Structure 1
Amino acid sequence: MSGKKLSVMMTKSKNGRLKSHQQCLKGLGLSRIRQVVEVIDTPENRGMINKIAYMLKVEEV
């Protein structure tokens, strides 16, 4: 499972969001709308993705 990667794209603005949701974006390495990053599929990253799923688009790589 640790070998898998996820492609994560930010689809909505972080302005006006809860501080903890903004920190999840920062933890995933996202700062701009339509920015795409690849993260390793770990329980920690999955937790952050699940918390802010409403503002992300996620695909397996």
Structure 2
Amino acid sequence: MTYDRYWDEIIERIRDTPWWASEQPKNAKEAAVWDGRAAMLDAIFYEVTSPTRRSTARAKTARR
């Protein structure tokens, strides 16, 4: 999926939802969860397709 398609088909649809457009809750715990909405979506949808140099270097170091 291209960046443009991802933005138009995924991000814009999410931003249109009442869940995303809601006001920040007054309750501190609920506000903390509300603040983490984007991170939660990243955790659900992000797919690692190849290791990064940094993670590869860590793996080599861990094997020693």
Bigger RCO (CA 8 Å, 6+ sep) = 1
Instruction: Please tell me the TM-score bracket, short chain as reference.
Output: under 0.3
**Structure-2-length-normalised TM-score:** 0.26
| TM-score relative to the length of structure 1 | 0.27
Of structures 1 and 2, the larger Rg is shown by 2
Q: Which protein has the bigger strand share? A: 1
